[in-house]
Every structure is written in structure tokens, then in C-alpha cells.
Structure 1
């Protein structure tokens, strides 16, 4: 199902709606967008890649790109769908990305759903459900009323919702055998401390997996080995700082965990195919157009 079926606004890639399903919802796959689903009432069978899973009021989950899913056997089943392209949720500008809850719900659960089957470990308590429903109502009103500054308010309301859900996600309740979702504390630690030196053993300890299990699951979840993932995060952060600030390259290198600016330049050149200074110059030229 293409994103254009919901909105053709490429400048604001976001869509929100309430849904009541009285009949089976056909299987469909998301085309380059992410869907946050909040079950507001009732229950249904969530079908993901042919497997069936029971869901009910209070369940919250994220369906990523290219994951086939649908609903069957709905009973008083009401949900809220929030659909967005990944760039709408800018991970690198959000400190909430440094929490285990965020990494579990928005990064690892969608990946695990795609590779190992549907898992949703965010189940709201009654008071949490009320708070989230109020936030959704405010978000929905801003999106559909479109008063002055509505895009700014929608983005702000959405980010508040992301923060609330991330705080509510209690990774300590996850059983040890649920696969890559247990990596959340390690990914959160990396987000907060990527400028620092760390070892695979230290990261594995955060997940209670053996180093061998941790390395296998980490590669499965992210596509990278831990040190490759950290380097990628450092370079991505450097690119952002080169574009958005006028900090000297030596200071950017230090902020990204490189005490040797010459080594930083070599790593940057290898990963981006261009020197940090040339990258900044190109970014400035494009922004001026």
C-alpha cells in the first residue's frame, strides 16, 4: 500500500487517522513508510507474514517498511494509525533515542517483526492508556484542523507522544528469549556514549547475552557489527555538525570520539568519499541554491 494512498504531501510526510475495523483487513505491505498503531479498544488477530497473534486494548506497536500484515476476527476493534516516513522521526536530533524504550519500540521491534515474527511488549496500564489517548486526540485535532502553524504543532505533539511511549516501554519486563528486542539497553548506551571507547564485552553485559549471542543478534538487528555501527553513528553525527554548525573540524572530530583529527579525516574520507572540509563546502553550496 503506497504512502500516496494517504497523503501526497512530500514536504510533510505524515498521516494520522482513527480506524474501526468490523471486518477482516486485507494483508498489505507498507511502501517506504512506518506505521505506529495504538489499539484503543477491543481485540483482534494480528496477521504478520502468515502468522497470527492476539492483540487487544493497550497494545502499541510499530510496523516498519516492507512488512506484510493485516487484521482478522475484530471485536469492537478501534485503533489509531500514525503513518510517517522515516525522515519525519529524526533520530539523531532526539535525546530520547538514548533510551532503551525508544530503541526497543521504534528500532528493534519493527526489525524483529520483519525477521522473527511479531512482538509487542508495550502494553499500557489504564492510566497510561488515558494519557496516550489524550495526546493522540490533541495530535489528531491539530492534523485535521490545520490552524496556523499546524505542521509545527503536529511535529511537536508527535514527538511528545514518542517520548511518552518510550518512557512507558519497560524493557525490564521483557523475557530473556525474545531475541533482538533485548538489545535495546546496548543500543541506547551506544546512542548516549558513542564518543567514548567501549568493548563488545561491556555492551553484551547490558543485554545479559553472551558475547557470541550478542554479536549474532546485533548483526541481525542492525546489519553491522558493534564497532561498525558506532563508526557509522560517529560519521553520521559529524555530517550533521558539518552541515549545521561552524565548529572547526578538529572540534567536530573530538565531539564524535576522535582525538586525532587526521585519523578522523581519513575515516570520514573512506566512509563518505570526500573530505570533511569538502563535505561542508558542498553542503553550504546546496543550501545556498
Structure 2
């Protein structure tokens, strides 16, 4: 999977699908494009476009059709949608599921930061019918820890030079299953505490965080918080934090020219040595090898 210039790809996609793009995507946004294998097209739920958009008020997308389902999670600000003759808004902390094969228009309300996944295949049609029902689209508060964990895993996987379609398909199933299992009436106090902890880690991952600090932030003892976090996410708080830092490091390695030492510092690792060791354990190669492989892949795709 290759990291592309978001605004250029966005405009290109919309031109091919009867749409228009008025810009508004800021340079720090990212999009990852993957062309699925024949096996994925026939057997898996697969993601072709995964990204993170930071938009100003001029952001606008209008399409007559796009042959994917859209999963979007709004992290801040808000977005408006025109779909099936209806106007509705999606605000910070909410998730949207939309069938893009119908005409649709959406844009930012003042400004917006959101993550998105365009996917299809497998049992995605059945899940969409289950979730959207007669309303025709699906919106809910994005409170599911299972869903947030799966989205985080997908963003980690798409920045991996090896790109594992099977593991990404598993995470997409996790997201859809989590949405299908939600009653829409909010999660427990314990679940909310874990979500607050995840949000805190995402805002402060570059700092020298301790598990005790994170537990204090959500008013729980370190012992109870660690057990609760593992029960909700199937990983320890420390493992989640390291995984988050590795994900950010992957993005910087493929999307910037910053040195390995600088990336280690910006991603919250105690030392470059610690960063390289953790990166090798999670990715299977050193940061320099990962960057070199990503550059080689990009050059090969440019020659196609």
C-alpha cells in the first residue's frame, strides 16, 4: 500500500465518479490506496482507501456513485451529508456508515478532522442492510472500544509495507460486528473510562507517559485500570500505547524525510535504540529498512 497526496487522489476519484472537489483538504492529511488481490475481491471484506482528513470549511465532495461503503469517524468538528433526499449532520465522537453507490454530497461544517475507510466485498452488503435498516444510512456515537481498537489496527496495518489483506479483513469484521452489537444507548461507565484513556494516549503519546498517569487521568487505580483496559481491548495499556507510537512512526517514515532519531523523539520513545528495538518487534524490520521498502514499492508503482 502506498501513501498518496490526499487532495490529488480525492479529486481524481471524484472526477471518475461524476463528482467535484472544491479542495479544503489540508496538507497534513493522508490517504492510503490499495488495489485488492483477486482472492480479496472474491472472498474478503477489503479496504481500498483508508485515510485521515483534516479539512477547512471549503471541503466538499459530490458524487453520483462510488462503488464502496464509507465508514467515517469524526474526531473533531462536524460534517454535513445530503443523501437520499435527506440532510443530516455527523459531529465529533460519532461514526457514519454510508452506501456510496447512491448519489451523495458531504462536506465540513466550518472544519472537520475525520478518519475514513472505503470498503466492500465479503458480507459487507448484509451488514449494511442490518445496520442501516429502513433509514438508509447508519450513525451512532463512536463509543465502542472494540471498534476504536479495530480502526487503530487497520491504520497500523495499512502503513505496513507487507500489507496483509487477511488481517485487515478481520479488523473490518470486528468493526461491523461491534456496530451490530451496539444498542445505541451508550456504553458502561467502565467502557467510557477506557475510551477516555485511549483519547488521552492519542493526545499525549509523544510524552513520557506512565500507566499510573493514564489511570489517574480516568480516576482509577493503576491495577484496576490495567485489568479493565485489557478486558475491553484484549491488550495491556502499555501494549496499546506502544502500538499507537509505532503507527505514528510508520506514518512519519513514509510521509516525511525526518531522521529516525527525530521520529523516535516525536513518537515518545525514550531513546533511538528503544525505538528501533520496538519497531523491529512489531513490524519485523528496522525503521530504515521499512522506509527503504516503502520507497521501493512507490517507485515500482510509478513505473506501472
Q: Tell me the TM-score range normalised by the shorter chain.
A: 0.3 to 0.5
Greater Rg by CA = 1
Please, what TM-score do these two structures have when normalized by structure 2? Answer: 0.44
In proportion to residue count, which structure has more helix?
1
